[in-house]
Structure 1
Amino acid sequence: MLDASGLRYGVAGQPVILNDVSLTLEAGEWLGVDGVSGAGKSTLGQLLAGYLTPQAGTVTVDGAPPPRRALRPVQWLPQSPELAVNPRWRVKRILEEAWTPPDALRDAFGIESAWMNRFPQALSGGELQRVCVLRALVPGVRYLVADEISSMLDPLTQLDLWQGLRRVADERQLGVLVISHDAALLERLCARRLTLSEGRLRPSTRHGAPPAIAPKQSPASR
């Protein structure tokens, strides 16, 4: 279980961004978090993944603090994939910095072998986001924080990306925290939702169980 308890974070001279924020994410669970721009959703994601250190509170994975100098069991996937890669590296090196994914998994995300020799700027946003998702799926990763990863993609590319991630998450029993402004997307993906407002999390109002993601109908848009 990914457990965050009493997280507080702020910047000197500015209002506190997060104040006494707590949540749990079980293995295999999909949890949605929404909130207005500037509410602190990305800050929360970076705290969970260890990119930021809370001023108060704790983050634990299966009851223990996440390791500092080994593979992070919680991976944060940002909205803008170009900010997560070295623009001077080719895609093959970007992937192999983390691991060498099997061909079957690469194919599941629609990643073509021709991309391996390209630089990030030669890929579309949807193509590069799929590369970044694949890179994060290193064996040993237990939880993913998907921070608006499909907000700038067209509907077909969104469908393809989420279908691929759902299949892998189900197979590996990964917990996935989905951060999004898109209420319909969260309804579709997540059985439980929270809203971040004024530095605190509260349950979101929702109706019924989320429908399963529809079977793949069309190839990924590029």
Structure 2
Amino acid sequence: MLDARNITFGFHSQAPLLTQLSLSLERGEWLGLSGDSGAGKSTLGKLLAGLLRPQQGEIYADDKPLLSRGLRPVQWLPQSPELAANPRWRVKKLLCEAWCPPKSLMQDFGIQPEWLSRFPSTLSGGELQRVCVLRALAPGVRYLIADEISTMLDPITQVELWQAVRKVAERQRLGVLVISHDAALLGRLCSKRFHLAQGTLSTVHDARSAINQR
């Protein structure tokens, strides 16, 4: 379980953005998170991934304090893949930074062999996002924070990306937190949904899980 307990966080001398917030994500579970711009959704995602440290409270991954260095079991994926890609590395090096995905998995994500020798700047935003998502799904990862990762994609590519992510998530029993403004997307993907406002979470009661539908 990824477990945030009574988290408080603010930037510099500003009032806390998050106040005494608690959230738990089980392995194999899909949770949705919505909220207005500036509410702190991405900040919470970074805290859960160990990229920021809470001013108060604790975050545990599988009953152990979340590490701030090294390969973490929680990976945060931003909306803009350029933030996660070294522009000086070719795509093959990017992919193999943490692990080298098999060809079958690259095909699931629509990654073409000719991309491997190219630099990130030569790929479209959607193409680079596929690379960055797959890179984050190394075998040691147990939780994924997907922060608006399909916002820039066309509807067909969105479906293809989420189908590929779900396939890996089911195989590796990943817990997935989907951050999005798209209520319909969250309703299709997630078994539970939360809304972040004024530093606290509230449950959205109309969420419906699509993961277990046949």
**TM-score (normalizing by structure 2):** 0.96
Gaps of 5+ in 2: none
What secondary structure, in the 3-state scheme, does the structure 2 residue paired with 1:42 have? helix
Post-superposition shift, 1:143? 0.2
> In structure 1, how many angstroms separate the alpha carbons of the residues matched to 2:211 and 2:138?
25
Indicate the residue corresponding to 1:220 in structure 2. Answer: none
Deviation at 1:96, TM superposition (A): 1.4
Matches within 5 A, 1:186-201: 186-201=186-201
Partner residue, 1:135: 135
Deviations 1:14-60 (A, max 9, x none): 22111111000001000000000000000000000000010001110
In structure 1, C-alpha distance between the alignment counterparts of 2:67 and 2:83, rounded to whole Å: 24
2:209 match: 210
Once the two structures are TM-superposed, the CA of residue 66 in structure 1 deviates from its matched residue by 2.2
Match of 2:172 in 1: 172
Cα gap change, 1:213 to 1:28, in 2 (>3 Å): closer
The letter of the residue matching 1:177 is: L
Does residue 24 (structure 1) correspond to residue 24 (structure 2)? The answer is yes
Please tell me the residue identity of whatever aligns with 1:45.
Answer: G
Aligned to 2:59: 59
What TM-score results when the alignment is normalised by the length of structure 1?
A: 0.93
- For 1:27 and 1:213, locate their aligned partners in 2 and report how far apart those are by CA, in whole Å: 15
Secondary structure of 2:166's match? helix
8 Å CA contact retained: 1:163, 1:213: no
Kept in 2: contact 1:188–1:213 (CA 8 A)? no
Q: CA deviation at 1:213?
A: 8.9
4+ long deviations beyond 4 Å: 212-215
User: Counterpart of 2:94?
Assistant: 94
- Residue aligned with 2:52, SS: coil
**Aligned residue runs from structure 1 range 30-179, under 5 A:** 30-179=30-179
Q: Is the 8 A contact 2:32 2:194 kept in 1?
A: yes
Relative to 1, partners in 2 of residues 1:178 and 1:84: Cα closer, same or farther, differing over 3 Å? same
C-alpha root-mean-square deviation of aligned residues, in Å?
Answer: 1.5
The whole-number CA distance in structure 2 between the counterparts of 1:57 and 1:140 is 25
Helix, strand or coil at the partner of 1:193:
strand
Aligned mates of 1:16, 1:58 — CA distance in 2: 16
Aligned pairs, number = 214
Q: Secondary structure of 1:54's partner?
A: coil
Preserved contact between residue 32 and residue 179 of structure 1 (Cα < 8 Å): yes
Aligned partners of 1:213 and 1:205: how far apart in 2? 18
SS at match of 1:184: helix
The share of aligned pairs that are identical, in percent, is: 61
